[in-house]
Amino acid sequence: MKTLRFNHGGIDPWQYITWGLAAIVIIPLATLFSSFLTPEKEIWEHLATTLLGELFANTLILVLGVACFTTLVGVSLGWFTGACDFPGRRFFSWSLALPMALPAYVMAFIFLGLMDFTGPVQTLLRKIPGLENQIVEVRTAPFVVIVIGLTLYPYVYLLSRASFMNQGRAILEASRTLGMNPLQAFYKVALPISRPWIVSGLALVLMETLADFGAVSIFNYNTFTTAIYKSWYGFFSLGAAAQLSSLLVIFALALVTIEGLYRSQMKYYDNSRGGSVSTRLQLQGWRAGIVTIYCSFTLLIAFIIPLIQLIVWSFEVIQSGESITYSGYIFKTLLLGALAAILICCASILLAYARRRNASARSRFLCRVATIGYALPGTVLAVGIVIPIVWLDSLLQNILLYTFSIESGSIIQGTVVVMLGAYLVRFLAVGFGSVDSAMQNIKPSIDEAAAILGKTGGEVLRKVHFPLLQKGLLTALVLALVDVIKEMPITLMTRPFGWDTLAVKIYELTSEGEWVRASLPGLYLVIAGIIPVFILIRRMENP
């Protein structure tokens, strides 16, 4: 898009918005890395001799395992529903994205409730002759990978499917004329063209995997996120938590950098007009049957069975009368989600408009920094934000005491403001992506015409852009709302006293092994998560 510069005599005042939002991200990061200036030697010696090696190994196994699992499942399903035609394709094209509505920690406690030693699956297996003493240990790395992978593969699936749909059949037919069979055409032509989209989806998967706290804690699988939480609430050492967080930040930032460099070097162009139903590869006979069974099995395992189990357990909870006690949790969850979503949308509009007015390299870099919080795990952000808040709180208390002789307790620390700030940093990228995409569709000539008529930047944004951004804002609002209400570690580590949400309640119940009682708050979160999935699918089907 053409760069719009309305202030030629110095810095555009709107650019201070990009500086401010970037600073909100930079301050927690700088705080974390500065923690190495005062290392917690005793705690680090304990971690180095007992857990540090395990943390590195477990985190690496988890990341690599989920990456392989989601790539295999997501790309294959994306190819079948995006480029091929088989019985049930229309149904599977949208339903296979529904597992996105299941938080990983909800899937984790459903899995353990079904598959643990006392669960129905192993109980049934022990009734089979010859398997009476058979015990399957499910709290292991492969099962953690499968559970997290089943909730995250839709990221790869949706993006790879969109790419395969846009390629059309012309490219594949051209490869066939060169002597390639269908399998060779897929691996040598279709897959390389779709690689940028697959990498983008995989980057989101890896960020979410690094950030996961709920699922790994339910499985008692030690990773950096669980170690950060234990350092803070177990060792009562915010410094050790900050130093562990900085190590995880290095992983996350390296991932973002590699993904950005990779995509910048990828230049694939497709001049075909394909993508219509008539140009799909027709699968018939046993091939069509296998693909239908594969899609059905994936949907069954990743969404239908977990949802049915949630509903069954929830009815048990409702019949016991305990559902009445969840009204307060629901209210606080939705209130926090709504406040955070509104804040994120407002910041997204201002940031997108500031970049529109000045799309210089510096402005793009600052926008990138401001939205990099999505790559940072919630435990990391909680630690990085609480440390400067504690310092600021102490400073304000001293000012009140020595200037006005007023003694006060915590002013900012332990308030909803801290939670909302953490949500803003973590999920600004979610809102900004939707709003900025809508902003890009507004022609620059509209801004230029408004400037000629003497309209200020605020007037142009309020009277011209805002009405044209309604669809993008709605998408940003819903996605941000559901991401916030599903967020566990930030809420768990920064909430004020008495501000327990559904996610926090699920953590408390699952930490005690109460799978059935955790089902009802889990079901509420799943219902809320289904909404953005449909919005996302509609946007990708009809961009």
Terminal CA-to-CA distance of the chain, rounded, Å?
Answer: 18
- Residues 114-125, mean pLDDT to the nearest whole number: 79
What pLDDT does 172 receive?
A: 65
Domain boundary among 319, 351, 384: 319
> Structure tokens of 264?
């910048």
What pLDDT does 40 receive?
A: 66
Tell me the C-alpha distance between 84 and 82, whole Å: 6
Q: What is the pLDDT of residues 527-539, one digit of tens each?
A: 877 877 777 666 6
Whether the pLDDT of residue 265 is over 90: the answer is: no
User: Which one is predicted more confidently, 317 or 440?
Assistant: 317
Tell me the C-alpha distance between 208 and 211, whole Å: 5
Residue 486 lies in a domain: yes
Same domain, 157 and 276: yes
- Is there a contact between 475 and 363 (Cβ–Cβ < 8 Å)? no
- Residues 40-46, mean pLDDT to the nearest whole number: 69
Whether the pLDDT of residue 276 is over 50: the answer is: no
CATH classification of the domain holding 342: 1.10.3720.10
What pLDDT does 415 receive?
A: 85
User: Which one is predicted more confidently, 106 or 270?
Assistant: 106
CA distances from 128 to 147, 501, 513 (A): 26, 42, 27
Neighbours of 65 (CB within 10 A): 18
Same domain, 263 and 412: no
Same domain, 16 and 69: no
User: Which one is predicted more confidently, 323 or 462?
Assistant: 462
Domain boundary among 297, 319, 341: 319
Write the CB contacts of 157 (distance below 8 Å, at least 6 apart in sequence).
73, 74, 75, 77, 78, 96, 97, 201
In the block, residue with structure tokens 């006690």: 325
What pLDDT does 2 receive?
A: 46
Q: What is the pLDDT of residues 96-111, one digit of tens each?
A: 988 988 899 999 999 9
Q: Whole-model pTM?
A: 0.81
Same domain, 516 and 477: yes
The alpha-helical segments, DSSP class H, found in 376-443 are: 378-404, 416-440
Q: Which pLDDT band holds residue 139 (cuts at 50, 70, 90)? A: confident
Q: Burial, 170: exposed, middle or buried (Cβ in 10 Å; 0-12, 13-18, 19+)?
A: middle
Same domain, 275 and 349: no
Quick one: what percent of the chain has pLDDT higher than 70? 83
Q: Burial, 515: exposed, middle or buried (Cβ in 10 Å; 0-12, 13-18, 19+)?
A: buried
> Structure tokens of 248?
């995880």
Residue 44 lies in a domain: no
Q: Which pLDDT band holds residue 25 (cuts at 50, 70, 90)? A: confident
> Structure tokens of 203?
């980057």
Q: What is the pLDDT of residues 380-415, one digit of tens each?
A: 888 888 888 888 888 888 888 777 777 777 778 888
Structural domain total, the chain: 2
Q: What is the pLDDT of residues 499-515, one digit of tens each?
A: 888 888 898 888 888 88
Same domain, 394 and 489: yes
Residue 15 lies in a domain: yes
Tell me the C-alpha distance between 482 and 434, whole Å: 15
Q: Burial, 464: exposed, middle or buried (Cβ in 10 Å; 0-12, 13-18, 19+)?
A: middle
Residue 45 lies in a domain: no
Same domain, 139 and 184: yes
User: Which one is predicted more confidently, 36 or 381?
Assistant: 381
Whether the pLDDT of residue 272 is over 50: the answer is: no
C-alpha closest to that of 487 among 214, 272, 133:
214
Same domain, 362 and 273: no
Q: Which pLDDT band holds residue 75 (cuts at 50, 70, 90)? A: very high
What pLDDT does 277 receive?
A: 41
- Residues 163-190, mean pLDDT to the nearest whole number: 68
CA distances from 249 to 23, 264, 372, 377 (A): 17, 22, 11, 8
Residue 527 lies in a domain: yes
Residue 455, phi then psi, degrees to nearest 5: -80, 140
What pLDDT does 317 receive?
A: 85
What pLDDT does 85 receive?
A: 85
Whether the pLDDT of residue 463 is over 60: the answer is: yes
Q: Which of 45-49, 112-116, 456-460 has the highest mean pLDDT?
A: 112-116
Q: Which of 44-53, 391-400, 420-429, 474-483 has the highest mean pLDDT?
A: 420-429
Neighbours of 332 (CB within 10 A): 20
Domain boundary among 289, 319, 349: 319
Residue 274 lies in a domain: yes
What pLDDT does 74 receive?
A: 93
Same domain, 427 and 293: no
User: Which one is predicted more confidently, 25 or 294?
Assistant: 294
Whether the pLDDT of residue 297 is over 90: the answer is: yes
Residue 496 lies in a domain: yes
Tell me the C-alpha distance between 135 and 73, whole Å: 28
Same domain, 531 and 481: yes
Write the CB contacts of 435 (distance below 8 Å, at least 6 apart in sequence).
345, 348, 349, 352, 469, 472, 473, 476
In the block, residue with structure tokens 């395990």: 54
Q: Which of 150-154, 226-230, 402-406, 439-443 has the highest mean pLDDT?
A: 150-154
Taking all residues of the chain, what is their mean pLDDT, rounded to a whole number? 80
Tell me the C-alpha distance between 351 and 371, whole Å: 10
Q: Which residue segment(s) compose the domain that 121 sits in?
A: 50-319
What pLDDT does 278 receive?
A: 44
What pLDDT does 240 receive?
A: 73
Whether the pLDDT of residue 273 is over 50: the answer is: no
Same domain, 306 and 371: no
Same domain, 288 and 367: no
What pLDDT does 377 receive?
A: 81
